[in-house]
Amino acid sequence: MAKIDRYNGNVEAFAADSLGTERTIFGDTAQSNTLDGNITADFLRGWGIVGVNENPTKQDFNGLAFTLGQLISYLHQRGVPEWNTDQEYYEGSVVTTLDGIYKLKAGGNGTVDPDTDENVNWEKAPTRSDIVDSVIRVTSIAAIEAYSVPAGYVFSLNAGGRSGVFDVISGDYSTELAADTFNGIYIGLADDPTALVKVAKRRYFEYANVEWFGADAANNDNHARIQSAADIVNYLHFPKRYSGSKALVIGMFSKLKGESTELSGYYNNVCNLETLGSVPAPESDFSDNYNVSADLIVKAPSEDYALYVRLSDIFIGDYGPSRSPRPQYNVFAPRLTRASITNTRFEEASISSFFTAIAFSSTFTNAAIINRNANYCWQFGYDTVDLNAPVSMTSNTFNSVGASASNVTARWYIRSATYSSFNSCYGDGSGTGDSWFLKNPSALTFNGCGSESVNGESIKIVSDLAFSDRSSVVFNGYTDSFGSNWAAGRCVSVDGKCRVSFINAKFLPSSEIPVEIKTTNNARVFISEGISFSGSTSDSTSPVELDEIIATNSNTGSIVLNDGKIFDSNICNFNVDIAYTASVSASNGGGTTQKLYSGLEKNASTVGIIFATSVPVSNFGSTSASGRVFLSPGDTLAFLDNSAAFTYPAGESGASILLTFKSRNSTL
């Protein structure tokens, strides 16, 4: 139905301008222009006053229409009807008096005169002057506490970070006021200091600012004030970075939000060990009492999980290697379920920056860790004692999450995890330590992940429990660049019954560094659709099932293709037919002709010359060759040791070698 436009004029009743006796009171011959005179017993009975064989008069019709129209005219005049003691009223009814406008409260008695009710049944609407008069402007919490005013008054507090608006409301808020020791939300008044019947309550929506409780970034110890806020409000906003003398402890349904991962957050500047009370430990690393030091502790109820914890746009920890003391953890969260960690940063802890023993259905997005001289950056899961299935990490998602660290055991330490995906995640940094250490993984998928410049293994997998024959990991598009600080070691090791698949992976160490894929204890590595190495070898005592490997090497002054074995003794417990192709290109500006020569050895015997060519003076030469090698269980395939053939005189440019193998008809 469309909006009805108001009549543009003075609304009068039907037959208001009747002449003489054209309009009478309904059912009567008398005349009246008042509602009291027209609303009679006959009017309330209606057409029942007309006999069976009689006809209503014209005057009756005019009287009826006039009365109804006069009621409408009255409403147009008043807007809101005047209160009358005989009228029936219900909760929410609105009336007027000469003193103001009133609304009937829930359960109120509408027969009571609103002007004398004293706010028992009727609630009076404030006028503009009432509103102005009821707003009290103050500059301190103490000033509010000194006032004695009724409900309905408003305090406007102007006190820096504690500024805000407080409404005086009715009700027993004694419990809330007692918990709010720093008056961030609740303030008692002079005539009711314990808030038994009323309290001044801050207006806010969803998040409470920690500065409302007196937190100040310029102060050295804000722990008590921020902890007080966390104890009474689930959602906290950190506009700046604050330090404290103890870990901040939050529970389930908590949300911490900052302004950015650089400028806002919390850190512990004392880092003493704290006992959190009896919380059954699901992992072997900690006692039931959780005697730890941390910047932030997420504490779940006994034998339960911290549900729906949210961290966003916040920095937990402190800057740089000079941080002293350091806590064991930036975030210690033993049990998480449906958590969301978004746009966060964690920095400088001695054991691990983020630890959780159990996490289900949680999401980590755009989160980063910077750490030095610690055990781990990200530490997830525990060594499960359940031999039937890994249960500590299930159905979690990691998007654009990373760790940059030097001299750690591992950037990522993930135990007993299953059905989880890692997308565009990284583990970088200089110094010692592995990038990814996966223990007893199952159904993990890595898409577009990688590592860079670590002095350790890029991927280390250990599978040692009864269910490990079902362990599996897929690396899709993995890229690793070790950099010049990577001294020695292998890029991938797999120990135990775990099926590891690489799809379009790339490993790029510096040219003189050997790169290994090492497998032990019946581990299996599947390589499909291309995996490339620089200076590659594979040293193993378990099956490596090759689809395609590319080995490249280039150098100036000399070319040394690694002499390590492609397949070690007993690696092939199946027959495999390998087709290979090779190409070489070189330039020589030194004035002499050089010979390039290489080959393959099967069981220490040459099986084919891959290329042999001479490069003319100041010219560019290239050649290619191909062949096939058939391997049986126990056979060994290696590069032919002929590094001397690649030596160039000093100052001359070198050669680039590309060697490709492709398995054919392999049968387990």
Across the range 252-276, mean pLDDT stands at: 88
Please check the confidence at residue 540 and state whether its pLDDT lies above 90: no
Tell which wins on pLDDT, 161 or 127.
Answer: 161
Burial of 543 (0-12, 13-18, 19+ CB in 10 A): buried
The ranges assigned to domains in the chain are 1-79, 130-203, 553-668
The pLDDT, as a whole number, for residue 637 is 62
Whole-angstrom distance, CA of residue 222 vs CA of residue 530: 55
Q: Higher-confidence residue: 666 or 320?
A: 320
Are 56 and 50 within 8 A, CB to CB? yes
State how far the Cα of 318 lies from the Cα of 295, in Å rounded to an integer. Answer: 9
User: What confidence tier does 121 reach under pLDDT thresholds 50, 70, 90?
Assistant: very high
| Residue 83 CB neighbours (<10 A) | 21
pLDDT greater at residue 614 or residue 104: 104
Q: What is the pLDDT of residue 168?
A: 96
Q: How far is the C-alpha of 317 from the C-alpha of 326, rounded, in Å?
A: 9
- pLDDT exceeds cutoff 70 at 665: no
Which residues share a beta bridge with 346?
316, 369
- pLDDT tops 90 at residue 516: no
3-state secondary structure of 129: helix
* Residue with the two structure tokens 């722990």: 223
- pLDDT (mean) for 179-197: 97
Output the pLDDT for position 573.
40
Could you please report the per-residue DSSP string of 323-357?
Answer: --S--SEEEE-SEEES-EEEEEEEE--SSEEEEES
- Coil, helix or strand at residue 471: strand
537 pLDDT tier (thresholds 50, 70, 90): very low
What confidence tens digit (pLDDT) does each residue in 210-250 have? 999 999 999 999 999 999 999 999 999 999 999 999 999 99
CB 622 within 8 A of CB 586: yes
Q: How confident is the model at residue 170 (pLDDT cuts 50, 70, 90)?
A: very high
**Span 30-53, average pLDDT:** 87
pLDDT value at position 552?
Answer: 34
pLDDT tier at 660 (50, 70, 90 boundaries)?
Answer: very low
Residues forming beta bridges with residue 124, ordered by sequence position:
102
Report the CATH number of the 553-668 domain: 2.60.120
Q: Is the pLDDT of residue 487 over 60?
A: no
C-alpha distances (whole Å) from 639 to each of 251, 545, 552, 559, 617 are 59, 19, 13, 14, 28
CA–CA separation, 495 and 625 (whole Å) = 36
The pLDDT-based confidence of 169 (bands split at 50, 70, 90) is very high
pLDDT at 560: 27
pLDDT reported for residue 231: 93
DSSP state of 156: E
Reply yes or no on whether the pLDDT at 18 is more than 50: yes
- Decide which of 582 and 552 is more confident: 582
Report the alpha-carbon distance of residue 636 to residue 605 in Å, rounded: 10
Q: What's the mean pLDDT when you consider all of the chain?
A: 77
For residue 448, what pLDDT is reported? 93
Most confidently predicted of 289-298, 300-309, 589-598: 289-298
Mean pLDDT of 358-380: 90
Q: Is the pTM of this model over 0.75?
A: no
Pairing state between β 575-588 and 402-415? unpaired
The rounded distance, in Å, linking the Cα atoms of 570 and 632 is 9
Which whole-number Å values give the CA distances from 219 to 211, 227, 270, in the listed order? 12, 15, 14
Helix (H) or strand (E) holding 36: helix 35-38
Q: Kindly report the three-state secondary structure assignment for every residue of 230-282.
A: HHHCCEEEECCEEEECCCEEECCCCEEEECCCCCCEEEECCCCCEECCCCCCC
Q: Which of 69-73, 598-602, 637-641 has the lowest mean pLDDT?
A: 637-641
Quick one: average pLDDT of 521-533?
48
Task: Report the distance separating Cα 228 and Cα 429, nearest Å.
Answer: 38
Tokens (6 digits) for 493: 């090791």
Selection from 345, 341, 362, 364 nearest residue 353 by Cα: 345
Find where tokens 């690694």 sit: 562
- What integer is the mean pLDDT of 527-549? 37
Mean pLDDT of 191-219: 96
For residues 482 and 510, the answer to whether their CB atoms sit within 8 Å is: yes
What band does 58 get if pLDDT is binned at 50, 70 and 90?
confident
